[in-house]
């Protein structure tokens, strides 16, 4: 499954030879004409295509979505609508291919971090080069993505990270985020108010029961507070 964006009469060159593709598993290609003057038009067109793509996903055993665009507005709209439209689920792998620099991709990095996704960034150099990036969930601001691999037309693919290209991001968090977990508090529960080491000068309430102990065990195992 692939997505491409183009503007007006300048058709997306990446899908120019799509009729020559050969795949025993099947390929679906969707193109969205982006309107740089009207973001609402782009989002409306994209939402319709997302609906069609989701129908293809529901009829498929295994799906990899490849998005090709150098338009930051289109990529942001795709990130939003792919989640709203239930196109991206954890079993769906996503590759985003773009020439945009990382500082222009802040709006989509959150979606990439929370989904089974990789970012492929082409370099604008005389020789074709590409970086493969991975974002982890709940990354702190200004955290650069992990460089998974580098590819060049002269040297081929060079793996830089020891983890798999599509790791289980939610098995154990890398950055130890602080998460909000809701649970039921009963009247018979014993509680204690203590100083909060994560927020000096503030207090926190600790509840002592089996449910709280389970949450603490899960937090330690998955590396979150």
> What does the pLDDT average to over 44-51?
84
**In the predicted model, is pLDDT for residue 19 greater than 60?**
no
**In the predicted model, is pLDDT for residue 99 greater than 90?**
yes
pLDDT (0 to 100) of residue 1:
61
Query: pLDDT tens digits, residue range 62-89?
Result: 889 999 999 888 888 888 888 888 888 8
pLDDT (0 to 100) of residue 20:
55
Q: What is the mean pLDDT of the chain?
A: 83
Please report the DSSP string for 70-127 in residue order.
--HHHHHHHHHHHHHTT---TTSEEEEEE---GGG-HHHHHHHHHTTEEEEEEE-SSS
0.85 cut: is pTM over it? Answer: no
Q: How confident is the model at residue 13 (pLDDT cuts 50, 70, 90)?
A: very low
Contact 30, 2 (CB under 8 A): yes
Residues with Cβ within 8 Å of 110's Cβ and at least 6 positions away in sequence, in order, are 79
pLDDT (0 to 100) of residue 23:
60
Percentage of the chain lying above the pLDDT 70 cut? 86
Percentage of the chain lying above the pLDDT 90 cut? 36
pLDDT (0 to 100) of residue 22:
59
Query: pLDDT tens digits, residue range 131-165?
Result: 999 999 999 888 999 999 999 888 889 999 989 99
Query: pLDDT tens digits, residue range 161-213?
Result: 989 999 999 999 999 999 988 877 777 778 889 999 888 999 988 878 788 88
Of residues 21 and 168, which shows the higher confidence score? 168
Contact 139, 175 (CB under 8 A): yes
pLDDT (0 to 100) of residue 2:
63
| Domains defined for the chain, CATH in brackets | 2-159 (3.40.50.2300), 178-225 (no CATH)
> What does the pLDDT average to over 213-221?
91
Contact 3, 53 (CB under 8 A): yes
Of residues 7 and 77, which shows the higher confidence score? 77
């Amino acid at each position: 499954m692939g997505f491409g964006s183009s503007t007006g009469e300048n058709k997306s060159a990446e899908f120019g030879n799509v009729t020559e593709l050969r795949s025993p598993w099947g390929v679906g290609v969707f193109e969205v004409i982006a309107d740089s003057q009207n973001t609402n038009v782009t989002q409306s067109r994209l939402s319709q295509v997302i609906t069609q793509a989701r129908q293809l996903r529901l009829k498929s055993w295994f799906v990899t979505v490849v998005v090709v665009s150098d338009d930051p507005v289109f990529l942001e709209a795709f990130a939003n609508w792919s989640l709203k439209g239930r196109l991206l689920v954890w079993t769906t792998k996503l590759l985003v291919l773009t020439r945009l620099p990382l500082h222009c991709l802040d709006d989509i990095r959150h979606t990439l971090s929370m989904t089974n996704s990789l970012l492929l960034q082409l370099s604008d150099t005389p020789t074709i080069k590409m970086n493969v990036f991975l974002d982890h969930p709940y990354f702190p601001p200004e955290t650069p993505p992990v460089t998974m691999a580098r590819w060049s037309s002269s040297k081929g693919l060079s793996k830089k990270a020891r983890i798999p290209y599509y790791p289980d991001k939610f098995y154990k968090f890398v950055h130890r985020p602080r998460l909000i977990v809701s649970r039921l508090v009963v009247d018979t529960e014993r509680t204690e108010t203590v100083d909060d080491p994560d927020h000096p000068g503030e207090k926190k309430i600790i509840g002592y029961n089996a449910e709280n102990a389970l949450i603490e065990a899960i937090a330690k195992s998955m590396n979150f507070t």
